[in-house]
Structure 1
Amino acid sequence: MKPPFRMLIADDHAHAREGIREIVTSDPDFEIVGEAKNGLEALELTEQLMPDLILMDINMPEMNGLEATRLIKQRYPYVKIVIITVSDDIADLFEALKKGAQGYLLKNLDPSAWIDYLKAVAFDETPMSRELAVKLLHEFAGRERTEPKTSPLSPREHEILEWVAAGHTNREIAEGLNIAENTVKNHLKNILQKLHLENRVQLTSYAYKQGWIQGTKGRDSR
């Protein structure tokens, strides 16, 4: 039996921390090892407790969640960080992901969705939501197109990249391409390593900027 994932909560509201604690501790795969009231405390507690995963609010005093995320990922790159927020402002989410966060959760989501998502993050299987895939597409669709930059990716890796950009999970990609799910995981790991990126959102955004993706080929319209 695997030990539970050690989790740190960072939120300046006591009621919010209590609610998050209730959701997370309902599943034996997670253990709360500490709570921070601001980004500075989150940074200090990360050094003391070395958690596996941090749930990070954006707007906090002393140091906000975005700056705390940047510093934590700089010093402890193995720590996974999920942004928790009441807003789906795409600018905030992009900024958090640029600073190294693995994903985000809206506070008004159903508790069962939280658990499923956090397990996906913990096991490195986090899909990018269809909604975010569409927002990314719209973000770059209106920009003036440039000549595509030379890509270091293989044809198969480009194929997987297009599916990722459409917001599909590893399982859906495997089924669509008729390959094993572990093969998809390995391809995705290789793609991220080649491009020195950390997650699917960074990958998709980078691919649009490089001109490697012009659309999602309708795969997300099923």
Structure 2
Amino acid sequence: MLVDDHPTVRAGLRAILASVDISVVADVDSLAYARREVATLRPDVVLLDVGLGCESGMSVVAEFAAECGVLVHTMHSDLAREALSRGALGFVTKIAPGEVLVSAVRAVAAGRGYLDPAVAAELAVRQERRPLSVRERQVLELLADGLTNREVAEALSISVRTVESVRASLRNRLGLVGRADLVAYARKVDKVGT
């Protein structure tokens, strides 16, 4: 389902998604309509613009995330952390290429996180000023090696809740949404010796 207050943007999104056989079940221009359609249709993914005229789509991210996968689609790359912390599974800017948008929709539909690569790089650059703590580095390396939260907790003799907390911190601080992001960042950290 598409939620954007610009009809031309919705038409363009619909065309991009239709070209790769992704069905758009509805497109709406306001949060009132969006709420009704989410409740009625229960779409797999809501592609949500957070700047809807005088309304803020950010206010419904958590609400919609309880029902379906939320993919925030906006011009404002600086909103990525907030969107993810509110429960969005994905975040893509409106300047991202069509293939990035398609990858994001497919990932969110499958229940996986997705962060626009350009936004991930921007977040990483912002956060590189402060090095990872010893605990963050340990958790990152073990997660990147493919261990589950429980296995990381056992390996480090800490609670699963601590692992989840560190993982959430890495996600919010560095924009590392999925395991692929963790692996890529862990390799980068190894190369530069941060």
TM superposition score category, shorter chain reference: 0.5 to 0.7
Give the structure 2 partner of residue 204 of structure 1. 171
Partner AA of 1:85 in structure 2: T
Counterpart of 2:25 in 1: which secondary structure?
Answer: strand
> What is residue 157 of structure 2 aligned with on the other side?
none
Gaps of 5+ in 2: 153-159, 176-184
Q: What CA distance in whole angstroms lies between the structure 1 residues aligned with 2:67 and 2:142? A: 25
Q: CA deviation at 1:101?
A: 0.7
Separation in 2, partners of 1:188, 1:78: 25
Q: Is the 8 A contact 2:84 2:172 kept in 1?
A: no
Kindly provide the CA deviation profile for residues 16-74 of structure 1, in whole angstroms up to 9, marking residues without a partner as x. 1100000111122x21111111122211210011111000001114632101212222x
Superposed, 1:42-57 pairs within 5 Å as 42-57=34-49
Q: Count matched residues.
A: 173
Shift of 1:133: 4.2
Q: Say whether 1:120 aligns with 2:113.
A: no
Amino acid in the other structure paired with 1:22: A
Q: Are positions 1:14 and 2:7 aligned together? A: yes
Residue matched to 2:68: 79
Q: Hey, what does 1:218 align to over in structure 2? A: 188
Quote the offset at 1:218 in angstroms.
2.8
Conserved 8 A contact 1:83-1:103: yes
Tell me the residue number matched to 2:178.
none
Normalised by the length of structure 1, the TM-score is 0.61
The partner residue of 2:26 within 28, 34, 37 is 34
- Name the % identity: 20
Kindly provide the CA deviation profile for residues 126-146 of structure 1, in whole angstroms up to 9, marking residues without a partner as x. 454554445444555556x99
CA change 1:202–1:158 in 2 (3 A) is: closer
Decide whether the 8 Å contact of 2:71 with 2:104 is kept in 1. no
For the residue of structure 1 that corresponds to 2:55, the secondary structure is coil
Aligned counterpart in structure 2 of residue 99 of structure 1, from 86, 98, 104: 86
C-alpha separation in 2, matches of 1:110 and 1:131: 11
| Preserved CA contact (<8 Å) 1:160 1:188 | no
Q: Once the 2 structures are TM-superposed, how far is the Cα of residue 206 of structure 1 from its aligned partner?
A: 6.5
**What root-mean-square deviation, in Å, do the aligned CA atoms of Structure 1 and Structure 2 show?**
3.8
Residue of structure 2 in register with 1:159 after alignment: 141
Ranges in structure 1 where 5+ consecutive residues have no aligned partner: 1-7, 164-176, 178-183, 209-214
Q: Which residue of 2 aligns with 1:169?
A: none
TM-score normalised over the length of structure 2: 0.68
Which of residues 43, 51, 56 in structure 2 aligns to 1:59?
Answer: 51
| Higher helix residue share | 2
1:117 deviates by 2.6
